Amino acid sequence: MSDLAPTLAALRTAVEGGLAQTLEDAKGSDTAIAGLEAFHQALAHAVLGGGKRIRPCLTLLCAQACGMEAPERDPNALRAALAIELLHCYTLVHDDLPAMDNDTERRGQPSVWAKFGQANAILVGDYLQALAFCTLPHADGKALAPLLAQAATDVVSGQVADIAAAADPTVCDARHLLYVDTLKTGALFRAACALGARVAGADDKTVDACAAYGQNLGLAFQYVDDLLDADQAKDNAEPSILTLCGGDADQARAYAKAATQRALDALAPLDAKTAPLVTFAESLLARIA
């Protein structure tokens, strides 16, 4: 990803600044009320505590691929990118809760519930989901909200299926695992890419192509992540692509490669600058080469 690194760095800088400003604007005079200062600290911990910002970068890259120049400087494109990242942060906060994955750490730091308590974590997640929709630009005729809403509902459905598989691994056949990965991971990638295309004014065919790219890239990302977790001897109690492959890492890599190829094939209808999207997808496989 060396050729893409400067571009991604610039996009991340814009996203980080936008996220910080969004939280500052949302704070207002709330901190004068008891309890709200800690709550806004928890919000900042959830959103500004690190992360690769992959999803918002994809939003901006897809906007660029669909003809928008310097999307990180376009208010509508940046707001769409911020919205998908805020939604992603909400899912992480709720995913870490004791009733879900019971994770006490996130990105090398205490998870929100571990540091600020479960009640604050639940409310932080609720707030971030609403803030995502408030942040989304209301561009005439571009129908952005349904794309974000579909991702939000898909993630919940995926989590329900994931919890069922964790409770009873025997239900986790290929169909079940694909459902979980498609909805928990693929849905946000799909929405990120579709939002970028839509905010750039792309037609429906192009938006669908970007959405398909994101969907399959999300699957590839999940498979690569599962493989890297296994290589790092992390706890892999939850079903993953390796479970489906009987622990065969080579077979799991083949699944990741196939998903990446489907993502690249989806870009065929685009008559624009897809090189960054191709490089981004190919760089995923390089992590498990």
Residue ranges in 200-244 assigned as alpha helix (H): 204-231, 241-244
Local confidence band at 24 (pLDDT 50, 70, 90 cut-offs): very high
Going by C-beta distance under 8 Å and a sequence separation of 6 or more, which residues neighbour residue 196?
58, 59, 60, 61, 62, 63, 64, 65, 66, 71, 77, 80, 81, 210
Whether the CB-CB separation of 132 and 145 falls below 8 Å is answered with no
Q: Which helix (H) or strand (E) holds 118?
A: helix 118-135
Question: Residue ranges per domain, the chain?
Answer: 5-286
CA distances from 249 to 53, 176, 243, 254, 258 (A): 27, 20, 10, 9, 14
Give me the mean pLDDT over the 45-50 stretch: 95
The dihedral of CA 207, 267, 219, 88: what is its sign? negative
pLDDT at residue number 237: 62
Binned at pLDDT 50, 70 and 90, residue 105 comes out as very high
User: Residue 274: is it exposed, middle or buried by C-beta count within 10 angstroms (0-12/13-18/19+)?
Assistant: buried
Place 136 in a pLDDT band, splitting at 50, 70 and 90: very high
pLDDT at 234: 59
Proportion of the chain in helix, strand, coil states, percent, rounded to 5: 75, 0, 25
Phi, psi of 97 (to 5 degrees): -60, 150
63: nearest Cα among 280, 215, 284, 273:
273
Structure tokens at 255: 């699944």
Tokens of 254: 């083949």
CATH architecture of 5-286: Orthogonal Bundle (1.10)
What confidence score (pLDDT) does residue 242 get? 86
Determine what percent of the chain is predicted with pLDDT higher than 90.
78
User: How far is it, in rounded angstroms, from Cα 255 to Cα 251?
Assistant: 7
Query: Which tens digit of pLDDT belongs to each residue from 171-183?
Result: 989 899 999 999 9
* Ramachandran angles phi, psi of 248, nearest 5°: -80, 105
pTM confidence score: 0.94
